Structure 1
Amino acid sequence: MTLFSKIIAGEIPSFKIAENDLFYAFLDIYPSAPGHTLVVPKIETDRIFDLPEDYLSAYLPFCKSIAAAIKMAFPCDRVNILTLGFEVPHAHIHLVPMNGMADADILKNKKQGDMAELSAMRDAIVKFL
């Protein structure tokens, strides 16, 4: 069972943003920017393009409303998608608020989030969903 599966199952606490029958979205606890959110499928698949077609076709529509809420909560030029997938062997999308190319280096920009700040970030995003 991956770390993300444990988060989805509630075995590890998370700052949940949204959930449906296929996906679970929660804040990255090492955000590269305020509002940095992870969106994971509820099935364990290491590589995003190995997901079944129904997951692939539903992934971006699920992310779209979350990205809009992130942009409202944390004004930025855009919310971009990154699909790195090396840190946890469970397909996932990073939704990251960005204002320029320097913001794309999420590994350089990551810092451990303060629990109170993460809670406030979650509340700010959720109110726009």
Structure 2
Amino acid sequence: MATLFTKIIDGEIPGRFVWADEVCVAFATIAPITPGHVLVVPRAEIPELTQAPDDVVAHLAVVARTIGAVQQAEWGAPRAALLVAGFEVAHLHLHVLPAWDESSLTFANARSDVPAEALDAAAERLRTALRTAGHTDHVPATLGSPAL
């Protein structure tokens, strides 16, 4: 059975995509810890980090670093944070978010009350910033599509 993330990648469930390539996609979470929080997810259904091939882990890390650098600059955050937990969905995913301090980096701070318009605006802001930073080739044509 397809995971929730596979259903998002396949377009069965709406997503707010900011990145897409042959190995992975990145889309906004519906419960952000901070504005601009996205998930970097391999297209392949890999249950967790420790089961991922080295080349996939390396690729996800590079994409997370790229997105994190843009988030950090766009939101004026002192750091970009990377969290890997994976208890919510059994499909490997990296949480990448602008961060201002370590105490805020907890899923207890995830907000499920953010209006759809605000989630859309943050994702579009990140998409624009990724294009400006030279990553146009990996920013999908529309917010709702993982295709390039």
For the superposition of Structure 1 and Structure 2, which TM-score range results when normalised by the shorter chain?
Answer: over 0.9
1:9-34 C-alpha deviation (Å, 9 max, x unpaired): 11111111101000010011110110
Task: State the one-letter code of the partner of 1:66.
Answer: I
Query: CA separation in 2, counterparts of 1:39 and 1:13?
Result: 16
How far the C-alpha of 1:65 sits from its partner, in A, is 1.7
Q: Distance in 2 between matches of 1:72 and 1:16?
A: 19
- Once structures 1 and 2 are overlaid, which stretch shifts more, 114-123 or 53-62? 53-62
CA deviations over 1:51-109 (Å, ceiling 9, x no partner): 1222122111112221122112211111111000001000110002111121111x211
Structure 1: give runs of 5+ residues left out of the alignment.
none
Q: How many residues align?
A: 128
Residue 110 in structure 1 maps to residue 123 in structure 2: no
- Counterpart Cα distance in 1 of 2:23 and 2:31: 24
Contact kept, 8 Å, 2:64 with 2:82, in 1: the verdict is no
Distance in 2, Cα, partners of 1:71 & 1:98: 8
The residue aligned with 2:125 is: 124
Instruction: Report the Cα distance in structure 2 between the residues aligned to 1:126 and 1:85, rounded to whole angstroms.
Output: 24
Does the aligned pair in 2 maintain the 1:72–1:125 contact within 8 Å?
Answer: no
In the alignment, structure 1 residue 65 sits paired with structure 2 residue 66: yes
Unaligned runs of at least 5 residues, structure 2:
131-148
Contact 1:69 1:126 in 2 (8 A): no
AA aligned opposite 1:71: Q
Backbone CA RMSD of aligned residues: 1.0
Measure the CA separation in 1 of the matches of 2:67 and 2:22.
16
Measure the CA separation in 2 of the matches of 1:32 and 1:45: 24
Contact 2:41–2:92 (8 Å) recurs in 1: yes
- Identity over the aligned pairs, expressed in percent? 31
Runs of 4+ in 1 over 2 A off after TM superposition: none
Q: What corresponds to 1:76 in structure 2? A: 77
d(CA) in 2 for partners of 1:69, 1:101 = 19
| TM-score normalised over the length of structure 2 | 0.82
**1:48 maps onto 2:37 in alignment:** no
Quote the Cα distance in structure 1 between the aligned partners of 2:6 and 2:88. 14
